[in-house]
Amino acid sequence: MEGRFEYKFVRLGEGLLGVRKAAREQYQQVVHEHARDGWRLVQVFAPGTGIYGCANFYELIFERPVS
């Protein structure tokens, strides 16, 4: 087995009509903050569940090795 990882899920911008503008502007800062703590961005998940198929939120998925 190569190694074990732990995962963290950070949800940004929940809104009724789609992702809030602040979240679209904030996600880069969130990625940098987590990177300083040893987390690596794995995926940005944005389900199309809002009006007109727009995402209601972004979920950033981070991982880091467990020692």
pLDDT band at 1 (very low <50, low <70, confident <90, very high): very low
Q: Decide which of 3.40.800, 2.60.40, 3.40.120, 3.30.70 is the CATH code for 4-66.
A: 3.30.70
Sketch the domain layout of the chain as residue ranges: 4-66
* Residue 20 predicted with pLDDT over 70: no
Q: Kindly report the CA angle at 22 between 21 and 26, in degrees rounded to 5?
A: 125
Give phi and psi for 63, each to the nearest 5: -140, 155
What is the pLDDT of the chain when averaged over all its residues? Answer: 82
Tell which wins on pLDDT, 10 or 25: 10
